[in-house]
Amino acid sequence: MSAIIYRTQKVGDVDVFYRETGPIDAPVILLLHGFPASSHMFRDLMPALADRYRLIAPDLPGFGLTTAPSRGQFTYSFETLAHVIGGFVDAIGLPRYALYIFDYGAPVGLRLAMANPERITAIVTQNGNAYMEGLSAGWEPWQAYWREPTPAHREATRASLSDEAIRFQYEHGSPAGCVSPDGSMLNTFYMHRPDAYEIQLDLILSYGSNVALYPDFQSYLRQHRPPVLAVWGKNDPFFLPPGAEAYRRDVPDTELHLLDTGHFALETHHREIATLMRDFLGRKLDAA
């Protein structure tokens, strides 16, 4: 079993923390986490695939152990996150890679794919949405903030950042007693750092730019037809199964699997997801 190595790569004014495992000359999988997590969410998946793939999981700016300038000196938006991760990919020298996109990692990864489609060998989307039908009614407070970015609407989205909301994201829809508390407690720790709430509120506002790009993401998928594996926690209260099914509209041979778990599917089903990825990538990358 390959050891996981922990490194930092400087990208402009950002020190990107990342974890890596697997043979240096193996096909690469770039794993992009979501809110409110970090690369820690891939701690179980990465060793399960490291015999065959080189896996690289960075922490996005504003998350985990990646360090970035303060809000007054750095714009916390999804455009900026994608710019930093694009710079990270260049800095560590990844000419081609498969994407694992989850939650916030989906719009970041799809921005990278649109910018350099020739680099993308495959996409694994695990509750990584790119379609309006994937958004649940729970998004309404955020959508109100996008429509009218007033202080009152900003404050109304703050409830999404609470300790209780983070724990809910991990546990809702997951098999009872099967979710370790470590992940949500670590996220809560990060959320209590100075300025973390305001950074996340900035990103909540910026998330509207991702929804505006959905037609562009879909156009990329239709035009370039990357191999797509959609693995979805079907009980996710935020990103609904129709969002997974919609990938077939643009990539008809998308392989779809709905798992009986919640938003953070890796917390309960990392073995199943690793098995599906091994089969899918083995067929698609070998055929490329």
List C-alpha distances in Å: 15 to 55, 59, 66, 176, 233. 19, 10, 6, 38, 32
SS3 category, 195: coil
Residue 160 and residue 142: Cα distance in Å, rounded?
9
Closest CA to 122 of 239, 230, 245: 230
Tokens of 8: 């930092």
Is residue 270 annotated as part of the catalytic site, yes or no? no
Largest CA distance in the chain: 53
Tokens of 57: 């999981």
Token digits for 220?
Answer: 């990329």
Within the chain, how many helices (H) and strands (E) appear? 12, 8
Question: Catalytic one among 83, 263, 269, 270?
Answer: 263
Question: Which H/E stretch holds residue 115?
Answer: helix 105-115
Label residue 6 exposed, middle or buried (CB < 10 Å: 0-12, 13-18, 19+). exposed
User: CA dist 265 to 248, 258, 272, Å?
Assistant: 21, 10, 10
Quick one: which H or E segment has residue 32?
Answer: strand 28-32
Catalytic site residues? Answer: 263
